[in-house]
Amino acid sequence: GAGAIQELPGLPAGVKFDPTDQELLEHLEGKARPESQKLHPLIDEFIPTIDGEDGICYTHPERLPGVGKDGLIRHFFHRPSKAYTTGTRKRRKVHADPHGGETRWHKTGKTRPVFVEAKLKGYKKILVLYTNYGKKRKPEKTNWVMHQYHLGSDEEEKDGELVVSKVFYQTQPRQCGSTREAVLEKSKDTSEEESGVLRDANTTSIVDLYNASLMVYNQGSQNRAATPHLMPGFALHHGGNSFIP
């Protein structure tokens, strides 16, 4: 699990697991498609698999292994399931309270393609956790955010298909001074949805979803043998320099 990372030998202080979208899809391909021979021997220590009643769409993120309101990013392999026996809608309800309100993940913005060397590799969705979902209710947005990735050329993942997600608690959203100027500035290069910003329904601000803190594994001061394997997403920091394998 996520806690086992602290016990791994060979990882010096300052090692960060901060994979890009492309690198996450590479790890997913290695896990979901053994024939690709891309599976890293340590990947299960950094991206645990959670399913069933322990899965992301059944469990509040606070109860997921290693997840807290510290702004650190945690990664998980999991399999989305359908909300109903018919149709394609995915289950995103975490739980319902006794008064009928639901806590559920809500997709925001467009499903975005992820390219590797100019070829479509898969897709990415951004979801935000809301509480108080239900009839005649006003849903309340929380600071819990999930980025979900799946392989292939279809915008929607298949029922039961293995996906990879990163989950984090947004600790300090950046506020832009002017909504209109911010949107116009972003639209020069890409659309509002494509730039990873969310319009807050209750204010005129724009909330940036990409400023979560990085995950840092501090191994202490012990001398450890260097690991012979480095995976995409590692960054080693020493003496102010960054060594990226």
Average pLDDT over residues 66-76: 92
Q: Which of 25-29, 98-102, 111-115, 165-169 has the lowest mean pLDDT?
A: 98-102
Q: How many CA atoms lie within 13 A of 155 on its CB side?
A: 5
* Structure-block tokens of residue 47: 């991206």
| 116 close to 136: Cβ distance less than 8 angstroms | no
| 38 close to 29: Cβ distance less than 8 angstroms | yes
Spell out the domain ranges in the chain. 2-171+212-243
Q: Which of 11-15, 165-169, 186-190 has the lowest mean pLDDT?
A: 186-190
Q: In this model, does residue 244 exceed pLDDT 50?
A: no
pLDDT of residue 233: 67
189: nearest Cα among 197, 199, 198: 197
Residue that has been written with the tokens 């392989």 in this structure = 151
H or E segment and range at residue 1: none
Q: Which of 1-10, 114-123, 194-203 has the lowest mean pLDDT?
A: 194-203
Q: For 2-171+212-243, which CATH superfamily applies?
A: NAC domain (2.170.150.80)
H or E segment and range at residue 107: strand 102-116
Q: In this model, does residue 183 exceed pLDDT 80?
A: no
Q: What is the Cα–Cα distance from 123 to 115, expressed in whole angstroms?
A: 9
Burial string for 45-79 (b: 16+ CB within 10 Å, else e) reads bbbbbbeeeebbbbbebeebebbeeebbbbbbbbb
pLDDT for 112-158, tens place per residue? 999 999 999 999 999 999 987 776 778 899 999 999 999 999 999 98
Amino acid at 174: R
Whole-model pTM: value is 0.66
pLDDT for 205-240, tens place per residue? 334 444 333 444 333 434 444 444 456 666 544 444
pLDDT band at residue 102 under the 50/70/90 scheme: confident
